């Protein structure tokens, strides 16, 4: 049987981890995978997470199974974090999932179960794993234009033109904030216009929010999701705690499905069923830490303070890089780096230029020229700026 297996294409983002490790150059710079790093290159365990782990170690009495949907307290805490009371509990079905990827996968499976013919509309570009999972599940995909290669901002007119083609029951996948891979985001009036289009067409929004707190702040980053949730009858939200709690390997996420109160129970039951079919009980450790942090005022305040330090640190690096490039190039053409939000920016370089950055300068980024701002520090910013100009970007 195994003789029938064919090699699978390597994941372009994860592949970079191995390549970077194997590079013997001491001054190499890793701007690849979307993992936050501090100025020393460490992905730290956040203070509140450490404190919660200590408390948990002292008080946890059992590792017996939890609920198929995860703990109700976790689901409630996540709904509060993302939605902040903008919709009533009678509309919210929710399950814990293994990370944000697990939430996306379960959301796609829910769509396939409810409406097998639905097309899922994805931004061009989007996180490559969206595409591969949809493809793996045999689901229909339609791209909508999103990124303007000239301005490196959102081409909103083109996006709306494409989305005018959605059918009732189709799903439109949006990034809640910190668009991956471009860093270019919708403004609130643009979210408003998208909500109106979805209302008019009967298409269903699915919002992937994996970086809440990394862009403009915890509430500002969820403003688009909250606007959509308050207006549209059915909404899917895939949330991740990997980045904003720094618990990548714990696999902590949530899938939230908003529906009419009359459909909540069957939706909730279906989400639990999908968990059972795919992995049974969702991982608990990270979810428990998140619940403890969000429900304890002191832990929550410390977590928010540290998250804010992380966010402001990335913003300062953006400013520094944009300024450095302005000074070196004598032009404002890299101003978009300071406008983008979150971990990523798409530079708009060719694959050859990205390759030259790697081979000639030891700088690693994804082939589409997505760079992880958090991989920089104040000393490496000028090195990157010089390299960007040296390869002719």
Cα separation, 195 vs 112, whole angstroms = 23
Active site residues: 127, 208, 210, 243
**Angle between the N-to-C axes of helices 223-231 and 188-201, in degrees from 0 to 180, rounded to the nearest 10:** 30
Closest CB to ligand LMR among residues 51, 374: 374
Burial of 37 (0-12, 13-18, 19+ CB in 10 A): middle
Q: How far is the CB of 90 from ligand LMR (least distance, A)?
A: 33
Q: How far is the CB of 185 from ligand LMR (least distance, A)?
A: 16
Question: β-pairing, 370-372 with 344-346?
Answer: antiparallel
Phi, psi of 81 (to 5 degrees): -60, -45
Closest CB to ligand LMR among residues 251, 361: 251
Q: How far is the CB of 217 from ligand LMR (least distance, A)?
A: 20
Cα separation, 100 vs 85, whole angstroms = 21
Residues forming contacts to ligand LMR in the complex (CB under 6 A) are 13, 33-34, 127, 129, 180
Closest CB to ligand LMR among residues 106, 180: 180
Cα separation, 201 vs 345, whole angstroms = 32
Residue nearest to ligand LMR (CB): 34
Q: How far is the CB of 95 from ligand LMR (least distance, A)?
A: 20
DSSP state for residue 107 in the 8-state scheme = H
Residues with Cβ < 8 Å from 259, sequence gap 6 or more? 91, 93, 233, 234, 267
Closest CB to ligand LMR among residues 180, 320: 180
């Amino acid at each position: 049987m195994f003789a029938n297996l064919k090699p699978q294409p390597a994941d372009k983002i994860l592949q970079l981890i191995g390549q970077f490790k194997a590079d013997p150059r001491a001054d190499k710079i890793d701007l690849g995978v979307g993992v936050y790093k501090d100025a020393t290159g460490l992905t730290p365990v956040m203070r509140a997470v450490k404190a919660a782990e200590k408390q948990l170690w002292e008080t946890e009495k059992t590792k017996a199974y939890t609920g198929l949907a995860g703990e109700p307290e976790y689901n409630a805490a996540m709904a509060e974090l993302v939605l902040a009371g903008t919709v009533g509990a009678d509309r919210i079905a929710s399950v814990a999932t293994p990370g944000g990827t697990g939430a996306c996968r379960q959301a796609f499976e829910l769509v396939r179960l409810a409406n097998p013919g639905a097309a899922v509309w994805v931004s061009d570009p989007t996180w490559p794993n969206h595409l591969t999972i949809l493809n793996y599940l045999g689901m229909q995909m339609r791209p909508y234009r999103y990124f303007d290669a000239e301005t490196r901002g959102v081409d909103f007119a083109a996006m709306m033109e494409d989305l005018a083609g959605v059918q009732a029951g189709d799903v439109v996948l949006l990034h809640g904030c910190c668009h991956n891979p471009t860093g270019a985001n919708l403004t609130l009036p643009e979210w408003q216009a998208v909500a109106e289009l979805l209302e008019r067409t009967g298409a269903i929004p699915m919002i992937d929010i994996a970086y809440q707190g990394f862009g403009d702040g915890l509430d500002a980053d969820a403003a688009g999701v909250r606007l959509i949730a308050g207006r549209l009858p059915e909404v899917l939200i895939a949330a991740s705690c990997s980045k904003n709690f720094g618990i990548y390997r714990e696999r902590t996420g949530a899938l939230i499905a908003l529906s009419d109160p009359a459909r909540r129970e069957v939706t909730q039951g279906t989400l639990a069923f999908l968990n059972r079919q795919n992995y049974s009980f969702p991982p608990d450790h990270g979810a428990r830490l998140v619940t403890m942090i969000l429900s304890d005022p002191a832990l929550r305040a410390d977590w928010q303070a540290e998250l804010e330090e992380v966010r402001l640190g990335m913003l300062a690096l953006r400013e520094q890089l944009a300024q450095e490039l302005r000074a070196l190039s004598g032009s404002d053409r890299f101003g978009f780096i300071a406008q983008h939000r979150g971990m990523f920016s798409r530079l708009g370089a060719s694959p050859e230029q990205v390759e030259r950055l790697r081979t000639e300068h030891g700088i690693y980024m994804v082939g589409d020229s997505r760079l992880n701002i958090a991989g920089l520090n104040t000393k490496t910013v000028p090195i990157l700026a010089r390299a960007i100009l040296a390869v002719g970007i």
